[in-house]
Structure 1
Amino acid sequence: MTTNDEDPAIAVADMVGHVLRLAGTWTRWDGELRPVDDRVYTPHKAIRRVTDHMIDHLAEVEARLAGLPTIPDHWHASVITTEHDMAPFTEDDFDEAVSRLNRLAQIWTVRLGSLSEQCLDNSPGDGWSIRRIARHLAGSTYYADAVGVMPE
């Protein structure tokens, strides 16, 4: 997890690295749902949740920086397990996840790196500071940790 001194961009990039290290084992997934708390997870669902979480908070940050209202998320995506979430996780799925999550991490790194410390901590609009959003986002390891490492 992050500390108060940690660069929020590094925290987000580290989260993506952690998720992808675990996802690299998911082509061996046995098809069993992984229950955690009051939800269940699969490899596809974990990738979907990390991706959606990164996009949702990026939209929030960009809207606030532009002085626009944010668009609330009314879909309870972590509660839902879709038919697609149940599909086998293939090498192609992993390659797609690597590409998508690394690009999103780069967008976050560029955006966070362009902001002053004051803006990170005293962000425009309502809600958490942008630094706190990034730290919250770093907790997206939860979804991948729910699936864990698939044994050889």
Structure 2
Amino acid sequence: MVGHVLALAETWTDWDGCPVPAGDRLYTPHKAIRRVADHMVDHLAEMEARLAGEETQPDHWHASATTTAADLAPFTGADLDEARSRLTRLARIWATRLDALTPDELDRSPGAGWTFRQLAFHVAESVYYADSVGDRRVRSGAPGGRSVGQ
């Protein structure tokens, strides 16, 4: 999932500044990266709390519905480098945590909610945010300067 998101993010440094509608939401490069990272952190925190026998802390912000001023900023090469570092490290934390669990622990997870295996597959669906922004390389000769995949 992270590899796919970062491959798309490599095409965002020339983003035109126009948020991309996806259903009833708007997405930008910064928002897509923020949502992927937040989704990974939120569910990692859920898994750790459940493993420790603690109550989970739900996210009350509903960040996918919110587009901040920071989300509208240009997406630069430095932003891409930051995204690579952050998402790659988060992916490593996820892999390390999941690798430490037995198959039984993955499928018979403590507490309420999805099994940890289901949670991992759900987090992998975070590609949605990046796919909403899409591949921003402009096709030569495309009408209206549309991007690949639109």
Normalised to the residue count of structure 2, the TM-score between the two structures is 0.91
Q: Quick one: which of 84, 88, 97 aligns to 1:98?
A: 84
Structure 1 segments of 4 or more deviating over 6 A?
none
Residue of structure 2 in register with 1:77 after alignment: 63
- Residue pairs, 1:99-118, within 5 angstroms: 99-118=85-104
Looking at structure 2, the residues matched to 132 and 144 of structure 1 have their Cα atoms a distance apart, in angstroms, of 21
Residue of structure 2 in register with 1:144 after alignment: 130
Q: Quick one: which of 123, 128, 146 aligns to 2:114?
A: 128
Instruction: Give 1:61 deviation, angstroms.
Output: 0.2
Instruction: Give 1:28 deviation, angstroms.
Output: 1.0
Give the secondary-structure state (helix, strand or coil) at the position aligned to 2:63.
coil
Query: Which structure would you say has the larger Rg?
Result: 2
Looking at structure 2, the residues matched to 43 and 76 of structure 1 have their Cα atoms a distance apart, in angstroms, of 18
Looking at structure 1, the residues matched to 38 and 119 of structure 2 have their Cα atoms a distance apart, in angstroms, of 14
Which runs of 5 or more structure 2 residues have no equivalent in the other structure? 139-150
Residue of structure 2 in register with 1:119 after alignment: 105
Instruction: Give 1:72 deviation, angstroms.
Output: 1.2
The CA deviation string for residues 24-83 of structure 1, in whole angstroms up to 9 with x for no partner, is: 110010111100011000000000000000000000000000111101111110000000
Residue of structure 2 in register with 1:52 after alignment: 38
* Identity over aligned pairs, percent: 64
Residue of structure 2 in register with 1:61 after alignment: 47
Q: How many residues align?
A: 138
Higher relative contact order (CA 8 A, sep 6+): 1
Alignment-mate amino acid for residue 37 of structure 1 = G
Instruction: Give 1:146 deviation, angstroms.
Output: 0.2
Residue of structure 1 in register with 2:72 after alignment: 86
Residue of structure 1 in register with 2:142 after alignment: none
Give the secondary-structure state (helix, strand or coil) at the position aligned to 1:40.
strand
Instruction: Give 1:102 deviation, angstroms.
Output: 0.2
Instruction: Give 1:151 deviation, angstroms.
Output: 1.5
Which runs of 5 or more structure 1 residues have no equivalent in the other structure? 1-14
Looking at structure 2, the residues matched to 16 and 28 of structure 1 have their Cα atoms a distance apart, in angstroms, of 21
Normalised to the residue count of structure 1, the TM-score between the two structures is 0.90
Alignment-mate amino acid for residue 113 of structure 2 = G
- How much is the aligned-residue C-alpha RMSD, in angstroms? 0.5
